[in-house]
Amino acid sequence: QVQLVQSEAELKKPGASVKVSCKASGYTFSGYYMYWLRQAPGQGPDYIGWINPNNGDTHYEQKYQGRVTMTRDTSMNTVYMELSRLRFDDTAVYYCARGVRFDLWGQGTQVIVS
């Protein structure tokens, strides 16, 4: 079954870091870039950046640069997104999404900063 399965919800304090995982299955992991987005309550998705599973190359949107790190483990078909120096307004559901069309999404990971 083609799917992306993300890690469970997290509750963090301001200033801490959070690391969210996204495990791919049912398709060739190296065949698609993986993107990360987040969605605050009542708002549209906000784009964070991407990772190339082949070589680990990354690109981050400017507003997240310096706080976000994306990595991958090809042996586990899994990508990770770590966000540091958490603030209250980082509270959101974080999603991984496949490919330039975002044609497959993970189920989302709720991150609460409180």
Partner 1 sequence: QSVLTQPPSASGTPGQRVTISCSGSSSNIGTIYVYWYQQVPGTAPKLLIYRNNQRPSGVPARFSGSKSGTSASLAISGLRSEDEADYYCAAWDDSLRGPRVFGGGTKLTV
The DSSP string of 23-85 is EEESS-GGGS-EEEEEE-TTS--EEEEEE-TTT--EEE-GGGTTTEEEEEETTTTEEEEEE-S
Q: Identify which of residues 27 and 102 has a Cβ nearer to partner 1 in the complex.
A: 102
Q: Which stretch binds partner 1 (CB under 8 A): 13-21, 23-31, 40-48, 72-80?
A: 40-48
Name residues contacting partner 1, limited to 55-94 (CB under 8 A): 59, 61
Q: Identify which of residues 73 and 103 has a Cβ nearer to partner 1 in the complex.
A: 103
Q: Which of 42, 14, 44 is nearest to 112 (CA)?
A: 14
Q: Min. distance of Cβ 81 from partner 1 in angstroms?
A: 15
Binding residue (CB under 8 A) for partner 1 from 29, 33, 36, 64: 33
Establish if 100 lies at the interface with partner 1 (CB under 8 A).
yes
Establish if 108 lies at the interface with partner 1 (CB under 8 A).
yes
Establish if 27 lies at the interface with partner 1 (CB under 8 A).
no
Is the separation of the CB atoms in 82 and 12 below 8 Å? no
Is the separation of the CB atoms in 109 and 7 below 8 Å? yes
Q: Which two tokens stand for residue 77?
A: 């078909």
Which residues are at the interface with partner 1 (CB under 8 A)?
33, 35, 43-47, 50, 59, 61, 95, 100-103, 105-108
